[in-house]
Amino acid sequence: MSKLTPFHLAIPVDDIKKNRKFYKEVIGCSEGRSDKNWVDFDFYGHQLVIHYKPGTGDSSLHTNPVDGHDVPVPHFGVVLEWNDWHTLSERLQKEGINFEIEPHIRFQGQPGEQATMFFYDPAGNALEFKSFKDPKNLFAK
C-alpha cells in the first residue's frame, strides 16, 4: 500500500456560522482558510471544506440496512484510533448530539471488531466515525 495522503472533501451547508461552530467546537477541527461562503477545516489531517448552498437540509435522506441499522447514504467520516474514537464519542454525548446510530461495537471479539457511530451535522450531512480494535483489519474480508 502506498503512503496515506490527505483527502479533500467539499460539502454543502445552508448556514456557514452554525456549521463552522459545529465542526470547530463539537467535532474539534481547527480552521484553516475561509471566505464569506466557505471554510476549510483540518478534519483529522484531511481537508474538509464547508461551502454555502441554500436549502441544503434534506429530511428524506436515503438509507441502506446494515446489521439491523438504517445507515445514511451518502455519509463520510474518519477511522480513528481506538482511544480517540471513545474520547470523541464521550464528547459528542456530553454535547447532546442526536445520534442516527448510537455509538456501539460491531463484530465484538471477531477479527473485524470495530466501534462506530452515525450522526448529522446542522446542514443534514451524515457522518460516521469508526475505529478498529486491530487497525490491520481495516480492509480485511
Question: Can you give the pLDDT at residue 11?
Answer: 96
The domain boundary residue, chosen from 33, 54, 75: 54
As given in the structure block, the three cell numbers for residue 111 are 477479527
Question: Can you give the pLDDT at residue 114?
Answer: 94
Q: Is the CB of residue 101 less than 8 Å from the CB of residue 68?
A: no
Note whether 67 and 30 are same-domain residues: no
> pLDDT tens-digit profile of 47-84?
999 999 987 555 556 888 888 888 888 999 999 999 99
The single-letter code of the amino acid at 95 is E
pTM of the model: 0.89
Note whether 68 and 129 are same-domain residues: yes
Number of Cβ within 10 Å of residue 132's Cβ equals 23
As given in the structure block, the three cell numbers for residue 52 are 454555502
Nearest-angstrom CA–CA distance, 67 and 59: 22
As given in the structure block, the three cell numbers for residue 36 are 464569506
Note whether 78 and 115 are same-domain residues: yes
CATH of the domain at 11: 3.10.180.10
Note whether 29 and 81 are same-domain residues: no
Note whether 104 and 135 are same-domain residues: yes
Domain that holds residue 34: 1-54
Note whether 32 and 98 are same-domain residues: no
